[in-house]
Structure formats: structure tokens, C-alpha cells
Amino acid sequence: MPQPQPARPGDPLARVDTPALILDLDALDRNIAEMAAFGSRQRIAIRPHAKTHKSPDIALLQIAAGAVGQCCQKVSEAEVLVAGGIGDVLVSNEIIGTAKLDRLAALARRARIGSCVDHRDGVDALASAARRANVTIDVLVEIDVGQRRCGVAPGEAAVALARHVQAAPSLRFRGLQAYHGRAQHLRTHAERREAIASAVAAVKTTHLALKSAGIDCPTVSGAGTGTFDLEAASGVYTELQPGSYVFMDADYARNSGADGKPFTRFGHALFVLATVMSTPEAGRAVVDAGHKVLSVDSGMPILRDHAGAVYQRPADEHGVLDLTACNHRPGLGDQVLIIPGHCDPTVNLHDWYVGVRGLAGRNPHVEAIWPVAARGAHF
């Protein structure tokens, strides 16, 4: 059972019940337009990652702006995207287990579906599921370009696996998955450039090896919000998978851009709205937003409008604000807008997006309520 909606379209922001996941629709539109314009200038496909937003409503906005489709990490996300009208979904991950594979293959009856592999047994299981469902599934061989998560070694191991994919009539080899997650949050552009240079070298080696083996490789997919400009400049990636750019969390705001200044190319569009529920002493306030509404795995959240306030010591339902260095202190009953430390797992805690127009102006109001349709632990 989803929770009740925290507001209704037309409500002023002040009437939204807390804690609530707030989407600044103006900032969201700008972020989507900025990435779409980058893709069309650089002539590279944008396939945004739905692991961030888990929402067909937002996916459709990205596609209307020019995105070629969506990525996701889980079959459950792909199911929600396809049900929401997305016709081209890449699961940028390895899917293992008959139940999941049968669900994935069933989707390929209704949409173009791709998936990643890094083991011959995984290829065989995916091919069998596709055969049982009488569908064809696109396959990217994932290579490890420095993340040390999934993926085969670049070069001959990838060629051998690509050959194995090609031998399965129910699969279509489409190319390489080459995402370098560890590079995304390296703080300086120079560090990220160095990491992606070595990822690009690994991709080029593999691309050449495939070519020598007579295997066509039309797609090289990867990149995230921290490095997409670098993969785009490589000349070898054909498709970018940024996710967080659409919301911009506090952790990404700690990156610096190519000019050495804070990375502000995308604006904060996602907030948790919380209420000050206790002010036990001067300089300390407590808000109704703790671990169950804010993920702190990538560091603490920050407050949008109260410079000097420090969010700390989250408990399940409480967050403590140290206001000793804050000149503009919120009082009991006041609402505060909190920028999450890490957007994806924060979104996964909520049932509803409250889409707000005019958040930066005098009269912010609710325009849309969207479900976080693919939330939850289900894989």
C-alpha cells in the first residue's frame, strides 16, 4: 500500500505535509534540457539512467527532450518503465536467476530490451529465457574499465564472450558496456580525466580486438554525471548513461568542474521538505527527517536556505540541526528544504514526488504528484 499523497495539485508549498520528496520542476526542466543540448551538440546519444528517478513520468520528459531511451539496473525498474510507455530500455547490469530472466524476456515482447553479460553461463541463461519467450534481446558485453565491480577484462576475454553471444540465435550482440563508477565522484576534473583516459584506452583496445575478430560493435555505452563530457570527447563511446544530473545531490555538488570551480552545470532539483518539530535549546533544532527519508551513505545532506546550519546525527525519524553558526534560524513549525546527500537511495525511500513550480519565487505551488513507481527492494 503506498502512503497517502502529501499534497494536492494547486496547494501552496506551505501546505505540503512533511516529510515529502519535493521536485523543483523548473530546475528539473533546465537539467533535462542542458543534458539534451549537450548530446545534440556532441552528436552522442543520451540514455539517462532511471535508477536515479524510478519514474516513467520523468523518463518521458527526458525522451521528449531527445533521449534515445532509458537505462535501469533491475528488472523491476524495466517493468515499470515499459508499463509507463518507454519503448527502449537497457538493463545496464547482469541479470542472474530464472525468475528474473523470464520477467526480462517477457518485456521484450512489448519493448526493445537490452541487457549486459560478463559470463558465458549468464549468456546461456539469458539466451534460454529469450528463446522460451520467443523474443530477441540486445546484449552488451560489460568490460571492467576500472570500477572493479562487474565486467570481464578488456580485450580478448570480451571478444570471446561476444562470440558466445553471437552464437545464440535469440540474442543480438550490440557492443560494450563500459561504465566507470569510481571515477564519478573523484573531486577534481583532472582526477576524473585521468580515470576516464584509462577507461577509454581499455575500450579502444577491446574495440580493436573485436574488429580484428570481424565482430561489429555499434554501441559503446557508459558514463555518469561526473564524467559524461570526457566519455563524449573520447570518440569511441556512442551513448551516455547519466542519472544524477537530473536531480543533483549534495555529494555531486562537492565535485569541481573543469574550471576548478564548484560543479554547477546542473542545479539542485530534488529536496526533502521537513518540519522543525523541536527546538530544545538555542542553536539546536530537530526536523522530522532522518534515515527513513534521507540517505546519508554519501555524506550528510545540506540545507538550501539556512547558510551555516549543519544537518547531523540522523536517527530513524529525526535529524538534528546545529544552528550555532546560522544567522537565519528556522523556528518551531517552520519548514526547511534539505538537499539529499545521495539522490538515488533517497528517492527509493519515498512513495511520491511532489512537483513544485516557482520554488525559487514568492509563490511556490504544487503542480504535479507523481508516484516513485519503481521504488522498493524488488529486483
Q: Which residues contact 159 (CB under 8 A, 6 or more apart)?
A: 206, 209, 210, 213, 215
Binding site for ligand PLP (CB under 6 A): 49, 51-52, 71, 92, 179, 181, 184, 224-226, 241-245
Smaller CB separation from ligand PLP, 165 or 223 = 223
Smaller CB separation from ligand PLP, 223 or 274 = 223
Smaller CB separation from ligand PLP, 13 or 59 = 59
Smaller CB separation from ligand PLP, 71 or 95 = 71
Per the CB < 8 A criterion, the answer to whether 264 and 34 are in contact is no
Smaller CB separation from ligand PLP, 173 or 228 = 228
Q: How far is residue 257's CA from residue 115's CA, in Å, rounded to a whole number?
A: 32
CB of 246 to ligand PLP, least distance (A): 9
- Residue 103: helix, strand or coil by DSSP? helix
Smaller CB separation from ligand PLP, 242 or 301 = 242
Q: Which residues contact 108 (CB under 8 A, 6 or more apart)?
A: 130, 133, 135, 136, 137
CB of 350 to ligand PLP, least distance (A): 17
Q: At 217, list the grid cell.
A: 560493435
Q: How far is residue 184's CA from residue 225's CA, in Å, rounded to a whole number?
A: 7
- Residue 343: helix, strand or coil by DSSP? helix
> Which position's Cβ is nearest ligand PLP?
224
CB of 225 to ligand PLP, least distance (A): 3
CB of 94 to ligand PLP, least distance (A): 11
Per the CB < 8 A criterion, the answer to whether 147 and 180 are in contact is yes
CB of 180 to ligand PLP, least distance (A): 9
Q: How far is residue 358's CA from residue 71's CA, in Å, rounded to a whole number?
A: 30
Smaller CB separation from ligand PLP, 76 or 170 = 76
Closest CA to 69 of 29, 11, 111, 119: 111
CB of 325 to ligand PLP, least distance (A): 31
Smaller CB separation from ligand PLP, 38 or 179 = 179
- Residue 266: helix, strand or coil by DSSP? coil
CB of 118 to ligand PLP, least distance (A): 12
- Residue at grid coordinates 510507455: 85
Q: How far is residue 126's CA from residue 53's CA, in Å, rounded to a whole number?
A: 27
Q: What residue type is assigned to position 258 of the chain?
A: A
Work out the end-to-end distance of the chain between its first and last CA atoms, rounded to an integer number of angstroms. 18
Q: What residue type is assigned to position 21 of the chain?
A: L
Q: How far is residue 195's CA from residue 298's CA, in Å, rounded to a whole number?
A: 20
CB of 245 to ligand PLP, least distance (A): 6
